[in-house]
């Protein structure tokens, strides 16, 4: 597909974006669970859940070690600037990107937090749960014109039609998440449309991501803030997040008093089988790690979905009998809808009704895998209320809105 066939040979703002660095090659195809929230988690079977302090220390240590290995952001005399991120390397921008495409709701939420217009497209728009913004005054996202990149495959032609200034996605995800794209296709879109700039941060199980670094939520957020020329908003959110973490200290009980939860992907409104998720690294589990949630599956014989690709039935779940059930796949439902359908089914099923979590009323939605700075605040506070009966607001919603709107 030649450039002139799509551009008519004209010079566009795309010529202001320069791409550099090597993209790490592909690997094995990794599938997913079907459904509106389908996603993936880290494969850490048997790994003990760390405390919040241990997790924070580990992430800080990782950030210190890895940041020195990367070239810092640089600005040239002509005003262009270069931002580095694995696996794409150095990407040089001669002007701040205006329109963009994002891989998933993690990156989309970062963009909203930075005061940007919503992305023109996502991998699947129904996995971007914009209802979380209902918690924030004056912040909302309209997805009605947003396009799903994946439509029984991903078309290169769609990238040309979207004509974005930057594609905030890991190119290796694009090549390995389904069959269809190769390095040559990534190179073509990079050259003819706009660069790729992203890293698959929500989980850490993909084999093709084993030889380049991951980023914590706020490391990735800072990178995107630099691309969008909005590091002031990032710094405000980072300060807000620090205060939020401090507020959690008075909410999270000692380790011996925390319940042990099983995180599962429920299949349908009447779930009789479940895909098990071991709590691991990646932004998709940040809210659970920050709350020090114990993992009921980690020391059982149940294998993580991404290692086994297998579901478990209610009988197997009853053998584990977790104190709490945290169910993924139901974020599109309100709390009441979830209780009227999924929870009601479990209460009336002969096997499920024998589960301790069902008998005690401790069955909850587990939150989306795709978390950015705003959605993570909302989901962490929601989970703290579910598990620890936290009743106070743990972050300042008006301050979030002010940062988004640049009023600080």
Taking alpha carbons only, the member of 322, 297, 326, 294 closest to residue 310 is 297
User: What does the pLDDT read at residue 193?
Assistant: 97
- CA distances (Å), 110 to each of 53, 125, 208, 371, in order? 25, 15, 24, 9
What is the secondary structure of 234-284 as a DSSP string?
HHHHHHHHHHHHHHHTTTS--GGGSPEEEEEEE-SSS-SEEEEE---SSGG
pLDDT higher than threshold 90 for residue 10: no
Whole-prediction pTM: 0.83
19 - beta bridge partners? 91
Domains in the chain (CATH in brackets) are: 14-247 (3.40.50.1980), 254-404 (3.40.50.1980)
pLDDT at 290: 97
E strands along 106-203, which residues? Answer: 121-122, 147-148, 166-168
pLDDT of residue 307: 63
**DSSP secondary structure letter of residue 69:** T
Question: Over the chain, what is the mean pLDDT?
Answer: 85
Q: Tens of pLDDT along 208-252?
A: 999 999 999 999 999 999 999 999 999 999 999 999 999 999 999
| pLDDT tens per residue, range 17-48 | 444 433 333 332 233 444 444 333 333 333 33
**What is the SS3 assignment for 312?**
strand
Q: In what helix (H) or strand (E) does residue 100 lie, and over which residues does it extend?
A: strand 100-102
């Amino acid at each position: 597909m030649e450039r002139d066939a799509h551009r008519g040979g004209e010079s566009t703002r795309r010529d202001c974006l320069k791409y550099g660095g090597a993209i790490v090659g592909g690997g094995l195809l990794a599938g997913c669970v079907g459904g509106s929230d389908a996603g993936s988690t880290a494969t850490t079977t048997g790994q003990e859940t760390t405390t919040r302090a241990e997790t924070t220390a580990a992430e800080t240590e990782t950030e210190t070690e890895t940041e020195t290995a990367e070239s810092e952001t640089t600005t040239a005399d002509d005003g262009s600037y270069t931002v580095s991120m694995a696996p794409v390397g150095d990407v040089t921008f001669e002007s701040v990107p205006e329109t963009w495409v994002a891989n998933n709701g993690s990156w989309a939420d970062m963009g909203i937090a930075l005061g940007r217009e919503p992305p023109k497209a996502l991998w699947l728009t129904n996995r971007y749960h914009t209802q979380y913004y209902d918690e924030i005054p004056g912040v909302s996202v309209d997805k009605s014109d947003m396009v799903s990149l994946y439509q029984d495959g991903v078309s290169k032609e769609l990238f040309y039609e979207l004509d974005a200034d930057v594609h905030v996605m890991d190119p290796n995800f694009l090549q390995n998440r389904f069959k269809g794209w190769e390095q040559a296709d990534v190179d073509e879109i990079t050259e003819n449309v706009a660069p790729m700039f992203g890293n698959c941060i929500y989980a850490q199980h993909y084999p093709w991501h084993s030889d380049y670094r991951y980023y914590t939520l706020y490391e990735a957020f800072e990178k995107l803030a630099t691309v969008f020329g909005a590091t002031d908003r990032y710094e405000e959110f980072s300060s807000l997040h620090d205060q939020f973490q401090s507020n959690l200290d008075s909410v999270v009980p000692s380790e011996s008093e925390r319940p042990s939860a099983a995180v599962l992907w429920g299949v349908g409104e009447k779930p009789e089988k479940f895909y098990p998720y071991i709590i691991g690294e990646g932004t998709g589990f940040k809210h659970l790690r920050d709350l020090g949630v114990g993992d009921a599956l980690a020391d059982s014989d149940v294998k993580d979905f991404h290692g086994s690709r297998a579901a478990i039935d209610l009988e197997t779940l009853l053998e584990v009998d977790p104190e709490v059930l945290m169910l993924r796949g139901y974020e599109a439902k309100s709390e009441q809808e979830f209780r009227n359908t999924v929870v009601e089914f479990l209460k009336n099923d002969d096997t499920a009704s024998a589960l301790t979590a069902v008998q005690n009323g401790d069955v909850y939605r587990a939150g989306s895998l795709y978390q950015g700075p705003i959605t993570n605040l909302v989901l962490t506070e929601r989970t703290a209320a579910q598990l620890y009966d936290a009743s106070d607001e743990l972050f300042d919603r008006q301050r979030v809105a002010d940062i988004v709107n640049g009023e600080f």
